[in-house]
């Protein structure tokens, strides 16, 4: 069931996992692999402003609108997207058991360096800090690993985690960081962490529903 989802009451008994990240990083692809369901049907990138959830089976899995630069989308609209995401998370904090922050491993370092050179805090890092501040557990899913040169993989991932304030080597953060490729269906490091989190919040019953 696809639920257009804006103003859920935080007193609902539902639990929720949210997927957030820049536009085009692969959020919907990952959700499709995990649940076998398509979350965004026939949407144009950057156009959907509202979080879209699927109920799976009594858990909400929510695809947040992509944030950050989107070609053809005005800067003001990008700010609106960011504000909506933050408002949604604040409204539903009590039922959000996990946030998966998805980044494109092949372009993340370059994008962050560009923002830093303009003296701005990259939105991904702002989102990570915000989720930590409100005590929502976060997994950083470094997607599109298939596009990273295998010989440079560890260096690239070290640089990414360091930008989130996690000291390299990245492998000491494997309880929080998953290097994956949705394109290659190689998302086990992420599903393992999601399973751990479901266990930690007493939802063992849901684990069997994860397809990976
Ligand atoms: N090379 C590669 N491409 C991927 C991977 N995951 C997703 N893609 C591609 O990246 C594009 C965007 O994927 P989506 O799943 O729509 O990304 P999204 O984050 O949901 O995008 P928005 O809806 O704009 O926020 C698609 O063309 C996918 O096929 C991956 O692991 N590797």
Q: Which domain holds residue 151?
A: 2-207
The answer to whether residue 184 is domain-embedded is: yes
Which long-range contacts does 146-150 make (Cβ < 8 Å, 24+ apart)?
A: 146/181, 146/183, 146/184, 146/186, 147/104, 147/105, 147/106, 148/105, 148/106
Domain CATH for 16:
3.40.50.300
Domain count, the chain: 1
ipTM of the complex in this document: 0.98
Give dist(CA 113, CA 140) in Å, integer. Answer: 18
Task: Give residue 184's pLDDT.
Answer: 97
The answer to whether residue 64 is domain-embedded is: yes
Which residue matches tokens 């989308």? 73
Distance 143 CA to ligand 1 centre (A): 9
Q: Are 166 and 174 in contact (CB under 8 A)?
A: no
Distance 95 CA to ligand 1 centre (A): 27
The answer to whether residue 212 is domain-embedded is: no
The answer to whether residue 53 is domain-embedded is: yes
pTM of the predicted structure, to 2 decimals? 0.90
The answer to whether residue 167 is domain-embedded is: yes
pLDDT digits (tens, 9 = 90+) for 53-97: 988 777 899 999 888 766 566 667 778 888 899 999 999 999 999
Could you identify the atom of ligand 1 that is nearest to the CA of residue 143? 31
């Amino acid at each position: 069931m696809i639920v257009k989802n804006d103003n859920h009451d935080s007193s609902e008994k539902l639990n929720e996992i949210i997927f957030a990240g820049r536009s085009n990083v692969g959020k919907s692809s990952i959700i499709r692999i995990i649940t076998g369901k398509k979350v965004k049907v026939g949407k144009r990138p950057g156009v959907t402003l509202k979080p879209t959830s699927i109920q799976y089976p009594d858990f909400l899995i929510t695809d947040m609108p992509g944030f950050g630069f989107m070609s053809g989308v005005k800067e003001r609209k990008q700010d609106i997207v960011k504000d909506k995401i933050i408002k949604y998370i604040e409204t539903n904090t009590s039922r959000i058991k996990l946030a998966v922050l998805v980044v494109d491993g092949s372009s993340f370092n370059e994008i962050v360096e560009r923002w830093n050179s303009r003296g701005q805090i990259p939105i991904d890092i702002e989102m990570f800090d915000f989720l930590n501040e409100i005590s929502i557990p976060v997994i950083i899913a470094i997607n599109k690993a298939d596009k990273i040169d295998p010989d440079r993989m560890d260096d690239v991932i070290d640089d990414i985690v360091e930008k989130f304030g996690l000291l390299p080597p990245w492998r000491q953060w494997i309880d929080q960081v998953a290097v994956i490729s949705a394109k290659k269906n190689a998302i086990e490091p992420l599903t393992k962490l999601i399973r751990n989190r479901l266990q930690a919040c007493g939802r063992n019953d849901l684990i069997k529903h994860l397809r990976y």
